Structure 1
Amino acid sequence: MGILASIPKILQLHVTPVELAVDAVIAFLFSLAIWYYNIYGLPKFSSIRVTNRFFNLRLLYSVSFGIVLMLILVILHQLLFPKYHFQAMILMYQFRGILINLTIYMFLYFLYQTYRHHKIELELEHVKADHLSAQYESLKQQVNPHFLFNSLNTLKSMVEMEDKHSTEFILNLSDFYRFTLEKRKQDLIPLAEELSILRSYMFLLSARFEEGIDFEDQIPIAYATSLIPPFTLQLLIENCIKHNVVSLEQPLTISLYIKQDMLCVKNNLQLKTNTEPSLKMGLENINQRYQHLMHKNIGIDETANSFTVKLPLL
């Protein structure tokens, strides 16, 4: 800025090198001082209220400071170099100073507004993420107590009947809830881990419904390291059981398979007749979770005989 501000002097062919250097030094020192004055006027260092308006007290203080500073610099240089008569060009220096001041202020103003906008966007993303996590956690909490109650009733019946699978049932129940405690804070887990705990979950359901539920896992081993939000498959299967008849006369078939790099959860439709219409809040919550974590949507295909949810894999 010191060099640019000296261009008018350079265009005067009779200007001396010393006069040119002094002129550049005045502009340089002024620009440096104004730069730091405006930097330390930002909210991090100042108590002046933040505003989105360009014309505000901060600008008024900066221009006033610049006018006084330029006057002091010109007087000092006049005292050091009296033969150049800098006082005769005080208006030119002040006009130049105001232009420099406005340029620096404008640059910092737009830079800071961009920073604020970016910071607000980040805060909104964090709030959205916390909100989704809370919703997802609430959804899991709705499923788990209900599932635990049914599992304990099943275990009670098995013990009373002296079922030889009682011990295995207890171990699978223990594994399932240990996994719940370990993974509930994670956003994504390998598909292999999700399927491992899902098998324990399905064993518990099979003990409860016996031949009334048929589970088919057709996931290739190549997808074991793909990532998925934890409890997604459990919630979808619980959703199948919630809305469909599960009985020995009408077995519920649930299939897992990969199609076009999407994990598909498919069940035959045999809807209960005495339940309220589904609001699909569980599916919507899972979809929002996918949008936040993977920026993708889940797919839903419903026909007269089947219901399929398609999950993107990372």
Structure 2
Amino acid sequence: MEKTNTFRIPTKIIWLSSLFLGLLTAIPKMAEHHFHFYEALVDSSVTALFALIIWYYNIYTLPAYTTKSNASGFSTWRLFKGLLFGLVLMFLLACIQQYLLSHLPFGPVMLMFEVRGVLISVAFYMFIHLMYQSFLNQQVSMELERTQAHNLAAQYELLKQQVNPHFLFNSLNTLKYMVESGDTHAVPFILKLADFYRFTLESRKSDLISLADELEILHAYLYLQKARFEEGIRFTNRIAAKHKTSFVPPFTLQLLVENCIKHNIISLEKPLTLALYSEENYIVLTNNLQKKAVSESSTGLGLENINQRYIHLAGKEIIITIEGGLFTVKLPIIYEHNYR
């Protein structure tokens, strides 16, 4: 969901500046030899009302700030529409003034009012435009700080995950048992463990890696887990070849699989079934739900953190559904051309 913020100008500034402009237009009337208070009052009221309406028109016609569309430069079209609106408005107000002061010549008064309206419209548009640009710059800076904070948090938690002592302890225990029992898979296990930590060192500073590389990390991780759980984990990979050139944040799939292992019962009688496949614009991972009574301790890098990484890197959110006894996570496919 897009984040939106509202641009505001204090009501006090709007009303006081409108009243000030109204009083300013009354000064020439006051300087006349025959001062007419009623004429000055009507003239000032028309100008103040015009300024007040132009204020709100310009504010409410500004484009809304969003995280996907955060820049709005000078718009000639908006200025033209504002001038046209101002001319029509001032004509209507001049007609009202003519009704109240019918003794004044309509033509010269109307021309004076239209010129006044154009000047006020242009001045207000430029002033609001400058303030809005300042607002946009502040929002972009704040958004950058937020995304940097999310990214740093994700990197910190990911680093903790990559050196997860529980995973390493379990892997070394499995290796010890394999060596002591003379298991011929001990050497391949050591190589996969080395591969997994090599991937960790190579990928930890990258924002995105290819899906093909991510699958290598995942297969190394699953090999190590299958040595521990044997047939308690069943995994199928049906990723289309055309999607293997896409990108994902490093260790995303491994973290999702680890999340499944942490929170579900795994045994030969109740195997954890994982299915990885691609559909349309998503990489999908599903697992059968068989929740543990007490889950293992979490590293803190949950689904929301992964979601924030996708928002930060691609401007898209992951989709999570629980239906029909399946827990499903859909990751938006990221290609090089739509990487932000």
TM-score range, shorter-chain basis?
0.5 to 0.7
1:247 pairs with 2:246: no
Deviations 1:90-128 (A, max 9, x none): xxxxxxxxxxxxxxx999977765554344333223322
| Structure 2 partner of 1:121 | 139
- 2:150 aligns with 132
**Gap runs ≥5 in structure 2:** 1-122, 335-340
Residue aligning to 1:19: none
Cα deviation 1:47-72 (Å, max 9, x = unaligned): xxxxxxxxxxxxxxxxxxxxxxxxxx
Which of the residues 257, 260, 269 maps onto 2:277?
A: 257
Q: Superposed, which structure 2 residues align to 1:14-25 within 5 Å?
A: none
TM-score for both structures, normalised by structure 2: 0.56
For residues 284-299 of structure 1, the aligned pairs below 5 Å read 284-299=304-319
Report the TM-score when normalising by structure 1: 0.61
Shift of 1:216: 0.6
CA distance in 1, matches of 2:315, 2:321: 20
1:199-210 equivalence runs, <5 A? 199-210=219-230
Aligned counterparts, 1:34-113, within 5 A:
113=131
Structure 1 gaps of 5+ residues are 1-104
Q: Which residue of 1 aligns with 2:193?
A: 173
Q: Say yes or no: does 1:235 pair with 2:243.
A: no
Contact 2:158 2:301 in 1 (8 A): no
Residue 129 of structure 1 and its aligned partner are, at CA, apart by 2.2
Aligned-residue sequence identity (percent) comes to 50
Three-state SS of the structure 1 residue aligned to 2:139 is helix
Residue 142 of structure 1, CA deviation: 4.3
For residues 274 and 295 of structure 2, the distance between their equivalents in structure 1, rounded to whole angstroms, comes to: 20
C-alpha separation in 2, matches of 1:131 and 1:162 = 48
Letter paired with 1:220: A
Larger radius of gyration: 1
SS of residue matched to 1:274? coil
Q: Distance in 1 between matches of 2:254 and 2:137?
A: 36
The corresponding residue for 1:83 is: none
What one-letter code is carried by the residue in structure 2 that aligns with 1:295?
Answer: G
Q: CA deviation at 1:183?
A: 1.0
The count of corresponding residues between Structure 1 and Structure 2 is: 212
Cα distance in 2, alignment partners of residues 163 and 252 from structure 1: 24
Q: Could you tell me which amino acid in structure 1 is paired with residue 303 of structure 2?
A: L
Please say if 1:155 is aligned against 2:155.
no
How has the CA–CA distance of structure 1 residues 211 and 285 changed in structure 2, closer, same or farther, with 3 Å as cutoff? same
